[in-house]
Structure 1
Amino acid sequence: MKIQNPFRLGLLAGLGVLLAITIGNSVATLATILTYIGAAIFLALGLDPFVTWLEKKGMKRPVAILIALVAVLGIVAGLILALIPVIVEQVANLTEQITNNIVPGIQDGSLIEGIQNSLSFLDPQTLETIFAQVQTAIADPAFLTSIRDGVVGAGVGVANGVFGVIIVTILMIYFVASLSSLKRGVYRLVPASRRESFIDIAEQISVSVGRYVMGQASLALVNGVVSFLMLQFLFQVQYAALLAFIAFLGSLIPLVGTLSASVVITLSVLAFNAGDTFFATPIPLFAAVGVWYLVYMQIEAYVLNPRIMAHAVQVPGVVVVIAALAGGTLLGILGALIAIPVAAAVQLIIKEVVIPRQNEL
């Protein structure tokens, strides 16, 4: 249809721009919900290979789905139950430290004296000036207001995180239970002439994503378990369960996750352990933990990762780095998690669709 009237053409163009802006605003408004849905689909695809394996063992799909969900929720519940006592203990110790030592030390000046004795190379007058400013800031009512607002904001953030985990878990359960019907519904939307090739590519992508999620979760579980055993029984550090959980979470993030978690754990060992453990002083304990994680990262990179990920995704190293950086920039941790499977999917589409069409020209 040709539009010769300039007014009608401008009107339709304006309506198109308004529609595009409305769609963009709607997507931005629903960004959090879309992120939840994407994470739930990602996890559902990750559980699907385990469910399929149980089906091959003779179980019906509903039973296999139930077993898979119970296993995952059991692991999550176990980790939470292991962390709660540690977190409560840490908060209690921190509160006691602030109440009994830091606040009285600021009031009677003993804290200034202790810091001066520990940091004798600093100018005493400079320290006194700093603490005078701190005392003035504490006495300011705005300081208490900012602390209150920060505590409230932190509480809201924790509540939103818990709410997000609950929503993602519920959506994941629905997606796992109805994954086959969802796939069939999507396949019916594709023209019959292209449906067979579309199904083939979609199934390959689905399998690759599922294997990648299972592989990354396996690597994280190995890191978490080994870290707990080493920290608890060999190094005998405080808060071993919490530090092992940090190792588990770090290994879920590709490329830099294990390294970042190792640095955090090593610094935490230096900060929280007094040295009355398996090693004589904090410095050897700190160094020993750091050396252990250097060794573990080599084992993970050259032994565990190739074996576990051998049948998951085949993506060149440079593409992995670029995809992880781009995904992390766009969507944060979730983007870094899904970047490699998305890169594998794009690579597969190029290989199976784009290149054959170019060869036919």
Structure 2
Amino acid sequence: MLATLGVGAGIAVLDALSAVATVLVYVGLALFLALALEPPMRVLTSRGLPRWAAVTVAIVGFALVVALFVVLVLPLAVQQVGIFGAQLVAALRDVPEQPWYVWTTNNLGALDLNGLLSSLTELLNDPRQLSAIAGGVLQVGTGLINGVTAVVIITALTIYFAVTLPTMVAAVLRLVPRSRRTMTGSFLTEVLDSFGRYVSGQLILATINATFTLLLTVFAGSPAPILLAVIAFVAALIPVVGTVIGSILVTLATLTVSPAAAVVVGILLLVYMQVEAYVLSPRVMSRAVAMPGVLVIVAALSGAALGGILGALVAVPVAAAGLLVINRVVLPLQEAR
């Protein structure tokens, strides 16, 4: 009887967690954004500004950035999705006239490009497929509405966590025995600082990447530079491999302009990746996380496999916190035995 009740209680708890999974994601993302706001707030307080004033400045700046993104960037990105799709269809129609296509079909008979092109044409001309695409567009529209709602909820939670973070830390420390509160408080502060510096540093690198991509695609004549900049920003949030993935996607999207433009964009993005890896990232992340590069790659890939972009973003500071626990707690205990 007890075993049956225990299994039933476990299943009920798992079902409850599955039902509130989206809410937990919102809370986790808001908490990490609040930790990202903590370093600039500490800089402001170190210059003599009261805590409440530093929180107000950081929150107002964060709210303005979110509002500008929702009002200015997001509508343009959605509009450029349609423009990019129309140009992609036009590029597919012009493919048979391209010299490389003629050379490939004449010299590589095993590669059936004509069949592939006809299949794509039938896909675009089939009413059933068009209705399916329309349904997909409707789902995208619903997803955008849910995305705006998520942005509002995450913004409100971020403001709340940023204001009450010291109170939350003090409440957690009250659960620790009095004799260990000082050491635990110092350790917890170090972990939270590492989290905050990492998240804020990753956001800075992603912003630089998105800005460079925006300028590059504008000069390349891309029909959707803002959309590609948003893609680059989101991809750059993934540690280590995100910039590579974003650069590949941007280069492939530039093929709708011309192969030459895509080659130039790819080369410049490759140069930027070297600058980011050897100049920008060491400067921005110098005090964020101190962990071996192999562990960063493994943590990022594991987090992306488990939780997507958010999992990849969270996995590296979590691994850094685990490494800090080993260095500060486990190893001293082993040495004392």
Would you call these one fold, judging by a TM-score over 0.5?
yes
From 183, 190, 196, the counterpart of 1:204: 190
Matches within 5 A, 1:25-64: 25-64=15-54
Report the TM-score when normalising by structure 2.
Answer: 0.85
Change in CA separation of 1:134 and 1:264 when aligned onto 2, cut-off 3 Å: closer
Q: Which runs of 5+ in 1 are unaligned?
A: 1-10, 103-110, 274-281
Once the two structures are superposed, residues 133-166 of structure 1 have per-residue CA deviations (whole angstroms, 9 ceiling, x without a partner) of 659x8355xx565344323322222222222222
Any conservation in 2 of the 1:46–1:213 contact (CA below 8 Å)? yes
Q: Secondary structure at the match of 1:180?
A: helix
Deviation at 1:117, TM superposition (A): 5.9
> Whole-Å Cα distance in 1 between the matches of residues 176 and 87 of structure 2?
64
1:91 aligns with 2:91: no
> Whole-Å Cα distance in 1 between the matches of residues 127 and 230 of structure 2?
39
1:242 aligns with 2:234: no
> Whole-Å Cα distance in 1 between the matches of residues 46 and 121 of structure 2?
71
Deviation at 1:352, TM superposition (A): 1.4
Any conservation in 2 of the 1:327–1:339 contact (CA below 8 Å)? yes
Deviation at 1:192, TM superposition (A): 1.8
Any conservation in 2 of the 1:116–1:127 contact (CA below 8 Å)? no
Change in CA separation of 1:115 and 1:220 when aligned onto 2, cut-off 3 Å: closer
Once the two structures are superposed, residues 160-210 of structure 1 have per-residue CA deviations (whole angstroms, 9 ceiling, x without a partner) of 222222211111110001111111111111122332222121111001011
> Whole-Å Cα distance in 1 between the matches of residues 16 and 66 of structure 2?
33
CA RMSD of aligned residues (A): 3.1
1:138 aligns with 2:144: no
From 150, 160, 167, the counterpart of 2:136: 150
What residue is the counterpart of 1:276 in the other structure? Answer: none
Once the two structures are superposed, residues 323-347 of structure 1 have per-residue CA deviations (whole angstroms, 9 ceiling, x without a partner) of 1111111111100001110001001
> Whole-Å Cα distance in 2 between the matches of residues 18 and 232 of structure 1?
58
Matches within 5 A, 1:1-361: 11-80=1-70, 81-85=72-76, 87-91=78-82, 94=85, 121=105, 138-139=126-127, 143=129, 146-233=132-219, 235-271=220-256, 273=257, 282-361=258-337
- One-letter amino acid matched to 2:126: I
> Whole-Å Cα distance in 2 between the matches of residues 230 and 132 of structure 1?
31
Any conservation in 2 of the 1:219–1:251 contact (CA below 8 Å)? yes
Deviation at 1:288, TM superposition (A): 1.3
Any conservation in 2 of the 1:243–1:265 contact (CA below 8 Å)? yes
Deviation at 1:46, TM superposition (A): 0.9
Once the two structures are superposed, residues 270-319 of structure 1 have per-residue CA deviations (whole angstroms, 9 ceiling, x without a partner) of 21x2xxxxxxxx33322111111111101110111111111111011111
Please say which of residues 331-340 and 145-154 is displaced more in the overlay.
Answer: 145-154
Question: Greater Rg, structure 1 or structure 2?
Answer: 1
> Whole-Å Cα distance in 1 between the matches of residues 249 and 226 of structure 2?
14
Deviation at 1:97, TM superposition (A): 9.0
> Whole-Å Cα distance in 1 between the matches of residues 114 and 190 of structure 2?
69
Any conservation in 1 of the 2:198–2:285 contact (CA below 8 Å)? yes
> Whole-Å Cα distance in 2 between the matches of residues 132 and 217 of structure 1?
41
Once the two structures are superposed, residues 250-271 of structure 1 have per-residue CA deviations (whole angstroms, 9 ceiling, x without a partner) of 2222111111111111112221
- One-letter amino acid matched to 1:332: G
Any conservation in 2 of the 1:324–1:337 contact (CA below 8 Å)? yes
> Whole-Å Cα distance in 2 between the matches of residues 311 and 125 of structure 1?
55
Q: Secondary structure at the match of 1:178?
A: helix
Any conservation in 2 of the 1:253–1:333 contact (CA below 8 Å)? yes
Report the TM-score when normalising by structure 1.
Answer: 0.80
Any conservation in 1 of the 2:206–2:234 contact (CA below 8 Å)? yes
> Whole-Å Cα distance in 2 between the matches of residues 196 and 344 of structure 1?
21
Q: Which runs of 5+ in 2 are unaligned?
A: none
Any conservation in 1 of the 2:201–2:288 contact (CA below 8 Å)? yes
